[in-house]
Structure 1
Amino acid sequence: MGKQFGRIEPEHQAFIERQKMFFVASAPPKGRINVSPKGLSSFRVLGDTDVAYLDCTGSGSETRAHLMASDDRRLTIMFCAFEGPPMILRLYGQGRSLMRGTPEYADLVPQFEEIAGARQIVRLSVDLVQTSCGMGVPLFDYKQERGSLVRYWAARSVDNLRKYWGLKNTKSIDGLPTGFVPDSMAPQG
């Protein structure tokens, strides 16, 4: 049976910090719902109703497009235990995208280990925490992070990263604008 909380309790934070991956779900008012897996130790609990993750360059930018297209900026982040006791933990709330090159990004990025190719920090103001049993989630053994994404962007020039942002990150799969302006973003630390 699920339980609901108005804030992230200390036991929730401890659970979150043990997880190696999480999932982000977003949706525009009309269009496709997006669910993205995330890892690379990029998630931080900043307070009992405040979390953020460092978002790496990928083949799309659905979360940012959805946050821009939606007045309520709804966002859900889910963690599930792949080892130990079963549990699923969801964080619901309103998200914001803090673009690389902005003062907000610069203020928050010291909370993270810098990742080559990082393009934004997604911050969530949590208004609901929900836990549920997770007994249907299989057990998996964690081996290691895949280093290929970080190596890929570390080996590219700033110009190549900006070109990629211009080609792949300016519109969602539904054609919604992401607000990425590649030439104004400072790609590397």
Structure 2
Amino acid sequence: MAKHHDSITDELADFIRTQPMFFVATAPIEGRINLSPKGLDGSFQILGPHGVAFLNVTGSGNETAAHLLQDPRITLMFCSFTKKPMILRLYGRGRAVHRRDADWAALEARFPERPGKRQIVVVEVTSVITSCGFGVPMMDLVGQRTMLPDWAERRGEDGIRDYWREKNLTSFDGLPTGLLDGE
């Protein structure tokens, strides 16, 4: 039932674009494996048949960025909760792009304006696998939560940077995230 694909085809890109959420998995050399749900409209962009990027907004941890500094392997998973089941996994090598990086501006322009944007994670996709998804329940989407963008808006840029210094400079396992390097 699993099918291997050479790239992100137009059909697979359409599937990705219709999913309201996705999951990101990374792991350091030693320590916790991280699996995070991601959402927010417009936060995922397909860069080409072998490239994707997602906006990594401020959150309680910064595991993805820390892990990618040690080991660039990353898996992204999309699954349908609607009538037509499917699971799509993108395997690849990722890197966190920060505001100080040369490619930040070009990448940032691909995403909607969002308060609290922290990094853009770029993934070079090396493998695409789909599977049936027959065991995934069907659910109805009520809507996107606004709590995180609302929180970031209330904190403002200075408040967000203070939060980064307090909570996002290291992972839960104490690994550096590279977030404010050079400042």
Unaligned ranges ≥5, structure 2:
none
Runs of 4+ residues deviating >3 angstroms:
none
SS at match of 1:127: strand
Look up the match of 1:95: 94
Match in the other structure for 1:111: 110
| TM-score, length-scaled by structure 1 | 0.93
Q: Using the alignment, how far apart are the partners of 2:124 and 2:70 within structure 1?
A: 18
Q: Is the 8 A contact 1:87 1:134 kept in 2?
A: yes
In structure 2, C-alpha distance between the alignment counterparts of 1:166 and 1:182, rounded to whole Å: 11
Distance apart, 1:160 and its partner CA: 1.2
Residue 79 of structure 1 corresponds to which residue in structure 2?
78
Contact in 2 for aligned 1:166/1:182 (Cα 8 Å): no
Q: Secondary structure at the match of 1:155?
A: helix
1:111 is paired with a residue whose SS is coil
Q: TM-score by structure 2 length?
A: 0.96
Contact 2:116 2:157 survives alignment (8 Å): no
Change (3 A) 1:172 1:23: same
Tell me, in whole angstroms, the C-alpha distance in 1 between the residues paired with 2:109 and 2:21: 21
Partner residue in 2 for 1:120: 119
What is the RMSD computed on CA atoms of the aligned residues?
1.2
Q: Which residue of 2 aligns with 1:59?
A: 60
| CA distance, structure 2, for counterparts of residue 183 and residue 94 of structure 1 | 24
Asked if the contact 1:22–1:79 (Cα under 8 Å) also holds between the matched residues in 2, the reply is yes
Identity of aligned residues (%): 50
Secondary structure of the 2:174 match is: coil
Equivalent position of 1:7 in the other structure:
7
> Is the 2:93–2:124 Cα contact (8 Å) retained in structure 1?
yes
The offset of 1:5, in angstroms, is 1.1
Deviation at 1:182, TM superposition (A): 7.5
Question: 5 Å matches for 1:6-25?
Answer: 6-25=6-25
Task: Give the gaps of 5 or more residues in structure 1.
Answer: 185-189
Tell me what 2:44 maps to.
43
